[in-house]
Amino acid sequence: MNFDHLKGKTCVITGGGGVLGTSMADALASVGMKVVILDLNPGAAEKLVKQISEKYSVEALGLAANVLDKKSLEEAKKTINDKFGPIHYLVNGAGGNSPKATTKVEQLIPGKGDIWTESFYGLDMEGFRFVFDLNFLGTLLPTMVFTTDMLEAGKGGVINISSMNAIKPLTKIPAYSAAKSAINNFTEWLAVHLGKTGIRVNAIAPGFFLTNQNRFLLTDEKTGKLTPRGEKIISSTPMGKFGNPEDLSGTLLFLLSDLSEFITGIVVPVDGGFSAFGGV
């Protein structure tokens, strides 16, 4: 595939300092795009900027920004416009889960365990709200801020990051599952809302990749081996493995490029066959 038409275009990626964000930023830089990496951790953003700038000789910018603070995003946009001009594309990569929004058991079994601490009834509401807001509002607010240049230009693209949890909610993580399901709905809604503006809105639903946010659920911290949950996932993934971050690159570039100029409002699974498997 030829992505020359993306060269020199400015793409903002939120959560760029994370495992998947780093890989996606690398993919954007590999085709000559100007990459703006937003992250709560400015050190992580700057480290990645240095890495991709040296590797691909592209212009890159790292900024500290909070995807839940509209003013913070607006300040970041002003800096981007001053340095790179208008924004052409947005990748909403910020998100994640937390142990505070996770139940200790997969199912509530009457008479077994402590219902009030281990199940749905013991969920920490502050943790639940944080995870839901980070994933959903952390997609909505950057989209509201960073697509205004695209609106003026009459062309642009937004990529949201969904999850397998949006298709079939996984046990133990209700906040993350609910938020990613909302991402799917929002992707479709916004694609229709902006359908005549030239801005296309699509999403990628990764299967299972080991990241800093889910490692505690999938691997044993002491032994490094898979947890029973991790084993279940691998056995339910026809390819029999976790995804590599680079596995998202092709889909990302395709959906941003003019190769998909008549595609909007879709969610593409990149999951090793997980969503196609019925368990038998």
- Domain coordinates in residue numbering, the chain: 4-207+248-270, 214-242
Is 56 designated active site? no
CA 167 to chain centre: 15
For the chain, the C-alpha Rg in angstroms (whole number) is: 19
pLDDT score of 19? 87
Residue for token pair 């000789």? 57
SS3 275: helix
pLDDT score of 18? 87
pLDDT score of 25? 97
Distances (CA, A) of 167 to 163, 180, 268: 7, 9, 11
Query: pLDDT 10s per residue in the chain (280 long)?
Result: 679 999 999 999 999 988 899 999 999 999 999 999 999 999 999 999 999 999 999 999 999 999 999 999 999 999 999 999 999 999 999 998 898 999 999 999 999 989 999 999 999 999 999 999 999 999 999 999 999 999 999 999 999 999 999 998 989 999 999 999 999 999 999 999 999 999 999 999 999 987 766 677 778 777 878 888 888 888 999 999 999 999 999 999 999 999 999 999 999 999 999 999 988 8
Instruction: Assess if CATH 3.40.50.1100 describes domain 4-207+248-270.
Output: no
**Residue 71 in tokens:** 């003013």
Q: How far apart are CA 73 and CA 92, in angstroms?
A: 13
Find the catalytic residue in 56, 89, 121, 176: 176
Distances (CA, A) of 209 to 29, 88, 105, 159: 22, 28, 22, 18
Length of the chain: 280
Name the pTM for this structure.
0.93
- From first CA to last CA, the distance across the chain in angstroms is 36
- CB burial class (10 A; 0-12, 13-18, 19+) of residue 126? exposed
